[in-house]
Structure formats: C-alpha cells, structure tokens
Amino acid sequence: MSGEFTLDTSPPSAATLAVAEQELRETPEVVSQALQELRELLKNDDTIYFKDDDQTLIMYLRPCKFYAKSAYELMKRISEFKEKHKDILENLLPEDEKVAFTEHNVVNVLKNRDHKGRRVLLVNVGGTWDPSKVSPTQLFRIFYIIHEVAVLEPETQINGCVVIMDFDGLGMKQVKAFSPSFSLLLLSFIQDAMPLRLKEVHMVKQPFVFNIVWSVFKPFIRDKLKKRIHFHGSKMDSLHKFMEPSHLPKDYDGALPKLDYGGKDWYPEVDKYLDHIKTMNSFGKKKK
C-alpha cells in the first residue's frame, strides 16, 4: 500500500468553506442561529439523546443545510432506525466485523478524494463477494461503521460522498443475497437515517443478471435518490463524465495506480476512533 489511509478531521479548507456557504447556507450567523435552535429542540425532547456540543450538532446540521428543524427530524429518524434495527446495530464496534473488514475486500474507501473533494466508497458486490462468508447484514454493518467515522471529516460533511457499486462477476450466488428485506434496510438507512450528503451512486461492470437485483431495489428508491443513480456497465468513459479519471484508479480506467489496498489497510484507522463510535452508539432513543 503506497501512502497511508487517514481520516481528515482538520478544519475545512477555504475552498470548501466557500462551497459550504454557497450550497449549505453556512455563514457564522446562520450556524450560530441553527445551533441555538437545534439545542432548544433537543432540550425539549426527552425521548431522544444526542450530545449537544457544536461539533456533534454541526454533523447533523450540514446535511440539512443548517435548517435546525430538518436536522432535528433527521435525528429523530436516526433514533427510530436504530431502535428498529437494534438487533444488528446496538453497541456495534469495528472489532465485531474485523474479519469481514480485513479478510474480504467487499467494501473499500479510496485514499484520495475525487475532483470535487468527495469521499469515494467502493462496494465490490460482484464475484469477489461471497455471501456465505460476508452476509448482506454484515455488509450493511460495515457500511454503517464507515459512515460513523466519515461524519468526523468536515470536508466530507460539506462535499459529500460518492459510491461506486462494482458488479464485476456478479452471479446467482450474489443475486440471491439481495433480498427485499436487505434492500429495504439499506435504502431506509440511506434515504432516512444517514447524516451524510450522498451525491452520486455509480453502478459499474454490471452483467445482464443485474436486472434481477435492480428489480428488487427499485420499488424502495425515491425520486431524490433515483436521480443520483447512474448506470455505466463496462463503459468507463461514461463514469468519467461524473468522476475525473485523474482521481480514479486504473481499475476504472483512471490515471491512478491499480488498487493495491483494501479493508485490512484502513481498518486500523477506523479502530483509532473507537471512542467516537461508542459515543455515536449512545445516540438515539432514551432507555426507558
């Protein structure tokens, strides 16, 4: 692995702050007002618990363009989602899925951002994914843990993230794993309970049997997300219309070297933020 994978928790650059002001209404006055309003909304709700320091509240305000009421509604939806799926999410820690992270390269994160400063998540759900070794639920749990550390990056909070779904070698073994219940779980999270700006989802190298997978997912996808999903097949020049090849690895006909790293390389970085993950685990519905 050339270079280390590191989370960037440093303050946003001047260019990113300009994006934040333009796209998220982020000015000192708006931020101050939103923090005050959101704190008040949380104080008056004795059913959910979230820390109310500035850093935590901004994590939820940024994807909601600093509308306090919208951020509060997001926090309520997150609480409901966590309660509904506590059998798979309660007290979830990276070590619980260490084998899936480190020995099966199903989910990967590019070390570099794309040309718009967005985090890029790679999900390998084609032939490299063996659902008998990493179940769909485990796949979701890995995705969930990654989102918990991604929200720590101000650059990601502002610029958002992009997902590349790689279906190379997809066969019936994988197709059968994409059940309606898994599709609903994943899409409920993405559309209702994920405090990140998901800018684009790119489906690449999908063979004909992908149509079966898509027919399972499609009923649960709302218009907002539907507009952000793009299908490229094996045409990487189609992907390049959205993501500059200068920021993509050779695997996607990019200018960067072929991927030689994966979950085993960035698992230690995720594990460094164990205290933060434990804190995130404490957010949600108050115990009665």
Going along the chain from its start, the domains and CATH numbers come out as 14-89 (1.10.8), 94-271 (3.40.525.10)
Q: At what angle do helices 68-84 and 180-192 cross, to 10 degrees?
A: 150
| Pairs from 176-183 (Cβ < 8 Å, separation ≥ 24) | 176/131, 177/129, 177/131, 177/135, 177/136, 178/136, 178/212, 178/213, 178/216, 178/217, 179/136, 179/216, 180/216, 182/136, 182/137, 182/140, 183/216, 183/217, 183/220
* E-assigned strand segments in the chain: 48-49, 107-109, 119-124, 161-166, 198-204, 229-233, 284-285
- Distance, in Å, from the CA atom of 53 to the CA atom of 110, rounded to the nearest integer, reads 30
| β-pairing verdict for 198-204 and 161-166 | parallel
End-to-end CA distance of the chain: 47
pLDDT at 3: 55
For residue 249, what is the DSSP state? B
pLDDT at 2: 41
What's the burial of 78, exposed, middle or buried (CB within 10 Å: 0-12/13-18/19+)? buried
Cα–Cα distance, 56 to 157 (Å, whole number): 12
**Tokens describing residue 26:** 């982020």
Q: Give mean pLDDT in consecutive 10-residue pieces for the chain, a chain of 288 residues.
A: 76 97 98 99 98 98 99 99 98 97 93 97 96 97 97 98 98 96 96 98 97 96 98 98 98 97 92 97 92
DSSP state of 288: -
Residue type, position 36, single letter: Q
What is the tens place of the pLDDT at every residue in 130-168? 999 999 999 999 999 999 999 999 999 999 999 999 999
| Element of type H or E holding 129 | none
The CA–CA distances, whole Å, from 222 to 66, 189, 219, 228, 229 equal 23, 13, 8, 10, 11
